[in-house]
Chain A
Amino acid sequence: MKIVVQMTLNGLRIDVDEGMTILEAARFYGMNIPTLCYLEGLSPYGACRLCLVEIGMPGQSKLVTSCTYRVEEGLVVRTDSEWVIKRRKMLIELYLATCPSSKVIQDLASKYHVTTVRFTPWHEDCILCGLCVRMCAEQMQGKAIGFAHRGSNRRVTTPFDKESEVCRLCGGCMYVCPACQSRCQGPQEEQPVCNACLNLQQPCLDYFEDKMCFMDPCVACELDANREVKAKRRP
């Protein structure tokens, strides 16, 4: 029998099955948390850091990766609080500067209104999310690729950089890669941010604390004066 735990997600009291992660619970209830290294069917990895959410009561809260954190009784989660959004935007800016040619990252930037990049673009082909490595090992039973070296030299490769004997050229690694998709359109090389999909009609709120508007894009919170939306309005 499934054990159900009760938790609070963006001000909503919800019931979820024990053993679920915060990310799974949030997606089940229709709240989107951005991810780059998570894929259903692969083991959670916690490396892209985009799925960070704030847990705990204000004042004692902390940021955790929702893809690895399992739900527990009485857990209070805020997926789009000021703290989360600030850090997430900075991460997206860093992603854009690392890998501006990825459509997935460009779309994320537009969604989160990241319109400038203050770093020199690197034009990397890989963000080391590890999806391909896990895809190969866990779904294709291939284990043809893995990580080599550490830190800034870390990269995905076959053992000893030799052509792999176990690789079946299935292409699963390319299929899941968020970085190697080409851009939706081609902004100039020196301009790393595309923002073609930027929603010029911005949502009325930047972030949400305990109560969240579930309209995406948000339209109507202003209509209801009684709603306690404790968030700062866009100037």
Chain B
Amino acid sequence: MPINLIGVEPLYKELNHNTTLSLVRFLLQGGVLMNTGIRSKLAKPVDLKNLREMLKDRLDPKKQRLVVCGDTGCSVCGSRELAPAIEEVLQERGLAGSVELKVTGCLGFCEKGPLVLVFPGAVFYQQVQAEDAAEIVEKTVLRGEIVDRLLYTDPADGRKITCAYDIPFYKLQTRTLLETGWYINPLDIDDYIARGGYAALAKVLDGMPPEAVIAEIKEADLRGRGGAGFPTGLKWEFCRAAAGNEKYILCNADEGDPGAFMDRSLLEGNPHAVLEGIIIAAYAVGAKEGIIYIRIEYPTAVLKIEQAVRQARELGLLGKNILGSGFDFEVIISKGAGAFVCGEETALIRAAEGKVGEPRQKPPFPANAGFRGMPTVINNVETFVNVPLIINRGAAAYHETGTESSGGTKIFCLVGKINNSGLVEVPFGTTLRQIIFGIGGGIKNGKRFKAVQTGGPSGGCLPEEMLDLKVDFKDLAQAGSIMGSGGMIVMDEDTCVVDLARYFLQFLKSESCGKCFSCRVGIQRMLEIYDRLTTGSASIEDLDLLEELAVTVKDTSMCGLGQTSANPVLSTLRYFRDEYLAHVRDKRCPAGVCRSLFRYSIDQDSCIGCGSCAEQCHAGAIVEMEEGCYSINPELCTRCGACVEACVSDAITKG
């Protein structure tokens, strides 16, 4: 059974695994203990208020705090060693009581990890290693001095920036959803409550009728952040109106796009916000049970959301009669094992039910017949995080950011050939240029921008002339791409779009469930054409066939995976037709990526005859024709490029 009732599953069961144990130790650095003891339940909304009052000193802005990023990116770069080192130094200096050390979720600027923030002042240190721990404590914590070499340098003017909020990467963002993550320990519910957590839930349960909650969400124009952008309020309304007393809330945490990690970061950085959103949604639609479907490839996120559920249950924020309102709600965590297609809602429902994760034809929509055939609301992690925000601020204030049709902000994962890769939050309506060149800091190594793929493998590839496009569900769809869950892969001039589309199709081919014919066969047949294109054996008719096939797959597939699988093909054909034509007509790959379509040759004029290329060539393709005169045998050459790197006089050319 994939469904586990996590309340019955004691924590030590998780802990007997060595790696998990060290992971938990790392995440708990700083001495905040898990609330494993029984705590008294919050019986009324006022109890929550009193608890927040008690926790007030946690907000003290003068208190010295060291925040270490505990996200996967930073921890593989060394924050796993860094946090214990800092703790050790603090203990040595007798500062363990007065200086707070926190291991948080993702701080956003993954490019420069491991990151450390020192409060007060939000001093931002980048690429910090365990060796730097003593210096940071010694100088910054004790004497208030800045460690210059760990500061961020603005590439524009070479200036060193001390405060995190002054760094362009952060300054240009609107961090509302990610903001709290800087200040809370995700494993500690008290941290969340101290910062106003569960206030929205209390407000809703304290006399706000479910219809009013739905009206508020509708007014805020919150759209589903999972990809399709369906209005969330409308979805809730349909589900509330659907016949039947047994209703379910499903949280889609099966994030599978290559290069996307928004949902993971939210779950790891602020799991209680997700949970609060789920409970409010349940109250609004009248559900008694919720399921968080999370992929098991996110062990830290699983651990944290399980802990969040356990703590919320202890405080009576889950279970029977929540905050004395008479509303009962329970959450189950269901772990999925690696299938991209399970992010599609009908497939996700089947997987959560314990069946094979395959989509089914809609309608009926999950709002009418979903989990166990009952009315179900499925929303993405990020959508749920927006819910408490809307309730707290009010729909009108929330909608001040964003565009007319979609309110609020959206988190993007900016990755690829970009200077500042990381987690970026901007209001809807921000242009791609602002995101890529403002926040992202432009293209790596001063290369030219070529294209940006929005929405992951099923998204579209947008060229330079589309950079002023405002990021919004509607505008992106018109441009032939999708918002998707928010992946943003930036490509430079060295990328071949034909090869890129082929790569995404290959991903989709292996992730297609194979149930419906057009997706299964259509993608394979498109790949056959791409194989011809990249080897130079395609004809001009193949391009028309490819387009016809792509449109057919788009129009006739059963689920979102198939319907969007043609996007990389159609968008590259639309914006980069010249490049396709170069592959077909001239049998040439302009970016020099498709190996069958270019050759390496040695320019005899600049060659100094050192022979280092021949030494590097693993295929034995470079031979000395006469003394000091080398040449490459194209038959043997595998186009690996090792000779180019070995050449000291830049004599090897591609062409």
Partner-B contacts on A (CB < 8 A): 44, 46-49, 52, 63, 65, 68-70, 83, 87, 90-91, 94-95, 97-98, 118-120, 127-129, 147, 149-154
Contact = CB atoms under 8 A, between A and B. Distances in A.
B558 interface: yes
B612 interface: no
Contacts of B339: 150
A91 B525 contact: no
A63 B555 contact: yes
Interface stretch (B401-409, B443-451, B512-520): B512-520
Contacts of A128: 514-515, 517, 520
Can you list the 6 inter-chain pairs with the closest CB atoms, starting with the nearest?
A154-B514, A46-B361, A151-B512, A90-B552, A68-B361, A151-B514
A129 B511 CA distance: 19
A224 B521 CA distance: 43
B54 interface: no
B360 interface: yes
A65 B517 CA distance: 13
B524 interface: yes
A69 B365 CA distance: 11
B522 A94 contact: yes
Contacts of A149: 514
A129 B521 CA distance: 12
Given A151-B511, A152-B524, A52 B556 contact: yes
A69 B515 CA distance: 18
Interface centre among B511, B512, B552, by most chain A C-beta atoms within 10 angstroms, is B552
Contact of A94 (B341, B356, B509, B521): B521
A63 B525 contact: no
Contact of A69 (B363, B528, B545): B363
28 contacts: A44-B361, A46-B360, A46-B361, A46-B558, A49-B516, A49-B517, A63-B556, A83-B555, A87-B552, A91-B552, A91-B556, A94-B517, A94-B518, A94-B525, A98-B521, A118-B545, A119-B525, A119-B528, A120-B528, A127-B517, A128-B517, A128-B520, A150-B512, A150-B513, A151-B511, A151-B512, A152-B509, A153-B514
B510 interface: yes
Contacts of A70: 363
- Would you call the interface of chain B mostly helix, strand, loop, or mixed? helix
Contacts of B522: 94
Contacts of A153: 514
B525 A151 contact: no
B549 interface: yes
Nearest to A127: B517
Given A47-B558, A147-B356, A152-B509, A91 B361 contact: no
Given A63-B556, A150-B341, 10 more contacts: A47-B558, A49-B556, A70-B363, A83-B555, A90-B552, A91-B556, A147-B514, A151-B510, A151-B513, A154-B515
B100 to A, nearest CB: 48
B515 to A, nearest CB: 5
Interface in B314-372: 339, 341, 356, 360-361, 363
Given A94-B522, A151-B510, A47 B516 contact: yes
Contacts of B528: 119-120
A98 B518 CA distance: 12
B135 interface: no
Contacts of A94: 517-518, 521-522, 525, 549, 552
B380 interface: no
Contacts of A95: 517
B205 to A, nearest CB: 37
A163 B461 CA distance: 48
B548 interface: yes
Interface in B466-515: 509-515
B557 interface: yes
Interface centre among A63, A83, A87, A120, by most chain B C-beta atoms within 10 angstroms, is A87
Interface size classification for chain B: 20 to 34
Contacts of A151: 509-514, 520
B558 A49 contact: yes
Given A90-B552, A118-B545, A128-B520, A150 B558 contact: no
A149 to B, nearest CB: 8
Interface in B61-87: none
A186 B361 CA distance: 37
A70 B521 CA distance: 27
A63 B552 CA distance: 11
Interface centre among B513, B521, B528, by most chain A C-beta atoms within 10 angstroms, is B521
A147 B520 CA distance: 14
Nearest to B545: A118
Nearest to A63: B555
B334 to A, nearest CB: 20
Contacts of A90: 548-549, 552
A130 to B, nearest CB: 8
Contacts of A63: 555-556
A74 to B, nearest CB: 15
Contacts of B541: 118
A147 B512 CA distance: 14
A44 B339 CA distance: 25
A46 B516 contact: yes
Contact of B520 (A68, A87, A119, A152): A152
Interface string B519-539: 011101100100000000000
A134 B339 CA distance: 24
Contacts of B361: 44, 46, 65, 68-69
A145 to B, nearest CB: 14
A70 B363 CA distance: 8
Nearest to A95: B517
Contact of A47 (B515, B524, B525, B551): B515
Nearest to B548: A90
Contact of B555 (A87, A120, A147, A154): A87
Nearest to B515: A47
A97 B517 contact: no
Nearest to A68: B361
Contacts of B548: 90
Nearest to B511: A151
Contacts of A119: 525, 528
A97 B545 CA distance: 14
A154 B521 CA distance: 11
B15 to A, nearest CB: 34
B179 to A, nearest CB: 40
B517 A91 contact: yes
A206 B655 CA distance: 48
B511 A47 contact: no
A104 to B, nearest CB: 14
Contact of B556 (A87, A127, A150): A87
B343 to A, nearest CB: 14
A3 to B, nearest CB: 15
Contacts of A152: 509-510, 512, 514, 520, 524
